[in-house]
């Protein structure tokens, strides 16, 4: 496991196998009694990136977000939030990812997201054939 980047650390995320957990903290609150939708979106983007990176397996490849669409299904209450991402298709240039987020009950999703990530591979090194 690689270290979480500063933004993920600010959200307080930690990884448990395929899942990412965002333990509740007061810095995640939006309106009184509810999580900010942006924090949930941030969690889901990072879950998507992590799962896509694992699927690609190429440590040299970079992932660039093209877009994300978030459906908010239920309000996020002041509890721990979990997310899991699923690869819809892993292509050569793009990886299409779906993400689910829930709190106490995995069967009651609070948000679902869809992301398209661009796979950017470094130019192949010139082979020396002497």
Partner 1 sequence: MTDPVADEGARMHRLVDRFMSAVPHLQALGIGYVQNGANWAELRMPYAPQLVAYPETGVIASGAVFSLMDSAAGFSVFVTMGRFEPHATLDLRCDYLRPARPGKAVIGRAECYKMTRRVAFVRGIAHDGDPGHPIAHVAGTFMLTGAK
Q: Which is nearer to partner 1, 28 or 102 (CB)?
A: 28
* Closer residue to partner 1 (CB): 8 or 56: 8
In angstroms, what CA-CA distances link 12 with 6, 25, 39, 42, 76? Answer: 10, 8, 10, 11, 16
The least CB distance from residue 96 to partner 1, in Å, is 15
Q: b/e for 15-43, b at 16 or more Cβ within 10 A? A: eeeeebebebeeebeeeeeebebebbbbb
CB of 49 to partner 1, least distance (A): 9
Instruction: Name the residues that contact partner 1, by CB under 8 A.
Output: 5-10, 26-31, 35-39, 41-43, 45-46, 64-72, 75
Q: What sign has the CA pseudo-torsion 28, 17, 93, 64? A: positive
How near is the Cβ of 91 to partner 1 at its closest, in Å? 18
Tell the smallest beta-carbon distance from residue 129 to partner 1 (Å).
32
Of the pair 41, 102, the CB lying nearest partner 1 is at 41
Question: Pick from 124, 123, 117, 108: which is nearest to 56 by CA?
Answer: 117
Q: Specify the residue, 40 or 102, whose C-beta has the smaller distance to partner 1.
A: 40
């Amino acid at each position: 496991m690689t270290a979480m980047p500063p933004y993920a650390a600010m959200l307080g995320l930690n990884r448990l196998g395929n899942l990412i957990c965002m333990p509740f903290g007061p810095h995640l609150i939006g309106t009184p009694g509810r999580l900010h939708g942006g924090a949930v979106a941030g969690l889901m983007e990072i879950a998507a990136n992590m799962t896509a990176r694992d699927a690609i397996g190429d440590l040299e490849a970079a992932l660039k977000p093209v877009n994300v669409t978030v459906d908010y299904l239920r309000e996020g209450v002041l509890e721990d939030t979990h997310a899991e991402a699923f690869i819809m298709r892993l292509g050569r240039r793009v990886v299409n990812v779906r993400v689910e987020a829930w709190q106490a009950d995995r069967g009651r999703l609070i948000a679902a997201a869809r992301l398209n990530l661009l796979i950017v591979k470094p130019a192949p090194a010139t082979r020396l054939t002497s």
